Structure 1
């Protein structure tokens, strides 16, 4: 039976003909999209906050009477956070495709909120690592639920730049964490063992506000359509369009094409695996290469930056945040300023440029560090340049994976490649580089940097041959939904 999206009831197996995806892509950019970005994009700010806090307070964690962590212990706790992110992404990603985007982005935020508050009450290495694991699980789940929702609500012509800018907001969180650490680690104001505990409360407090904001965000109409809930999808899109009309926006509503979907309650696991690893094998190779490279590139270097400053340059713990602030600024400005080129010049050339240039600059900075030719501020300036391009590259990895696979498997695809990439590049990286720093040898640390440079350049090569030209195209054109019948 064929029905339109406005029909009152839809059963599994019915054919639904709808123009909802096209209507969402034709909308002008307005207050609704800003709200989506603010309420959902906060995920990256929270992740940046978490990563920066642990890096900036590394010295305080070593000095804490309760924890007394070594450099290796801090690397281990960082790996626990990433391990939680990997497993959380897989579990919550599967639930996101099955139960819906909105339900999961509440569950994942609540997981993060409770775990990060609990971290503030850690009493030894085991408890600290365990709470970091669950904090990571919440963030990993956020990536899958939030990325898929944003992709499905932002118009195609703006999807690339918006996605990169949102991912780049990770560094706003980094800046908040860095600034907060400067105040909270000042022992003349706050006792040593209290400052680092209060630092973790920042993220928990922010998440309470964001939890309330998310009640305003609707379920993804695209997800509803493929799960046979056409009436709900139609009602949501009608409401969005009515809000735009009330705000005085005008847009072309004529000549809309339609898409036919076969309603289904869920997508069988065998079909999911086939869609990701067989039907779209080349896209899977690209996704793995991009995610693994950027995960090592970022996590190995940024998680251990505070250790490099304290171990090789003798920078006091309460001054680490001063070096992270310019680092964060370069990372935020990269996606913001050159992200538009991913929509205009194109995905493939920009992937090659950002990944390749990041790898070359990383190798050069590593050599300067190993040769002891740069001071603390000169090294920081080098990292600002490296990560101006590296931040755009890392953000584009999430963009590429999230738009390259069919709607029915999008969240799980994000989860799988985030998990595999982070597992290979992120969990091993911080622990490995932390161990290299503990040797006290600059040449040993250089080896860790060169591995990251090689991975970035390999990813650039893979993208040059296999990346998809998805710029300005509707999601349904980039990756045909599994339930599409036309």
Structure 2
């Protein structure tokens, strides 16, 4: 069985219906060189985001001292807001285009936007040029999330999907470590002059982006996207080439056990059907996705964007040394998804997602109380954050996994974009703003209140997942969410 066209039902005019087994053929594949290269070429997007976020915080002192920019604390906060606003709007716009025009076109377009914008950031000449280029950089990264998440989900065999998705999201913290290390070197006045140093820091992202652009040239379009956009022949050609490569490497592919899909041919999905599927048919899934993403966005952005302020204001750490404290923080965040990821496929989504969310909230509340009591020194505080975010990183990564796999193929990228935008807009903007004000009071009790809010949101999200989450482990994407174009 491959892909074949079926006779139209009685009463139909030009409607084309075809039968395909391509999703089952992708899911039966063993893990191989193809998947490894795919993950490296596409998944490195999260490294770029981690790099950008860390650089923005690490070079803040240099931006204030820059003869060209002379940014104030308020200006730096505004730049962070511009980056997040760009990510939100970029995710929505490029997410819609990803479902309409294809995964492959968009992961080149969004990477091109990112490279150009972060390179131009290095040449900023005043506040407004810096804000504009940070907005465009965020737009490129936001668009990358939608195009890349959907592509990786649609190529990865079902039994590996959870671990792969979590590990890829965890590479955000490899980028964070790279940004921290780069800032330590390039902001050292003995190595590079201050004004040139921060410009070279932003050049790191552009250089990496160019390498990634070359790596992506061989990545094909998603056969699942082609299949539901009336291009089954091209989808079949891509899958046959992938299978041939596996057979040439000595792999024996098991027989198919799943029945073929029957699909109506369509060129695009009307927006009315998109919103009906998101907010009516899959209303509970939408609530779960929005809750998970909002809670983790508040939790992460509130703490990570104000991490340096806590260290400098309460522990008197010199701003030039902040990067050294980011490195262990990043290590804990990367190891969480890497080491816990397999459990999301073996133990299951509902148990692991809910438990990591709840445990993260409880640990934050406990460490927040110890901080409020003045029990922890700076090393102990850093270790506490490492432990908390070992679990919180896996939880946050699973939020992206959830929204990427629990909605139909036709609207996958837009679903990621909508919930990423709402979650980031609600949690990612409110969190840092609130924590910034609490830290400005120089009162540990006020900061503890902020920690309790973040903890409560994580625990609430964990309970929502435990009640209404979808057990999507080891199931094909078409079983988790029936395609909108699937025929009876």
**Taking structure 1 as the reference length, what is the TM-score of the superposition?**
0.96
Of 447-456 and 204-213, the range deviating more from structure 2: 447-456
Mark the runs of 5 or more structure 2 residues left unpaired by the alignment: none
In the other structure, the counterpart of 2:456 is: 454
Distance (Å, rounded) in 1 between the aligned partners of 2:432 and 2:133: 18
Distance 2:111 2:448 in 1: 37
Residue 86 of structure 1 is aligned with which of 80, 88, 92? 88
Asked if 1:477 is matched to 2:479, the reply is yes
Q: 1:311 to 1:249 in 2, by over 3 A?
A: same
Distance 1:427 1:104 in 2: 26
Contact 2:24 2:256 in 1 (8 A): no
**Which residue number in structure 2 is paired with residue 269 of structure 1?**
271
* In 2: Cα distance, 1:331 partner to 1:350 partner: 16
Counterpart of 1:150 (choices 146, 149, 152) is 152
The one of the two structures with greater contact order (alpha-carbon pairs below 8 A, sep at least 6) is: 1
Does residue 5 (structure 1) correspond to residue 12 (structure 2)? The answer is: no
> Partners of 1:48 and 1:362 in 2: how far apart?
22
**Partner residue in 2 for 1:48:** 50
Give the total of aligned pairs: 483
Report the CA distance between 1:118 and its aligned residue.
1.2
Structure 1 residues 364 and 31 mapped into 2: Cα distance closer, same or farther (>3 Å)? same
Contact (CA 8 Å) 2:2, 2:22: kept in 1 or not? Answer: no
Distance 1:442 1:126 in 2: 35
Partner Cα separation in structure 1 for residue 81 and residue 440 of structure 2: 16
Cα gap change, 1:70 to 1:436, in 2 (>3 Å): farther
**1:66 — aligned with what?**
68
Structure 1: which 5+ runs fail to align?
none
Alignment match, 1:365: 367
1:283 aligned to 2:285? yes
Residue 423 of structure 1, CA deviation:
0.4
Q: Give distance in 1, aligned partners of 2:308 and 2:119.
A: 23
1:277-301 CA deviation, whole Å, 9 max, x = no partner? Answer: 0000000000000000001111111
Identify the match of residue 467 of structure 2 among 457, 465, 468. 465
1:178 offset after TM fit, Å?
1.0
Structure 2 residue aligned with 1:340: 342
SS in 1 for 2:401: helix
Contact 1:293 1:425 in 2 (8 A): yes
1:426 aligns to what?
428
Once the two structures are superposed, residues 4-38 of structure 1 have per-residue CA deviations (whole angstroms, 9 ceiling, x without a partner) of 6266xx99731110000000000010011001100
Residue 205 of structure 1 is matched in structure 2 by 207
Match of 1:189 among 176, 188, 191: 191
Matched, 1:323 2:321: no
Among candidates 233, 236, 242, match of residue 234 of structure 1? 236
Q: TM-score, normalised by structure 2?
A: 0.96
Q: What's the RMSD between the two structures over aligned residues?
A: 1.8
In 2, Cα distance between the equivalents of 1:335 and 1:256?
30
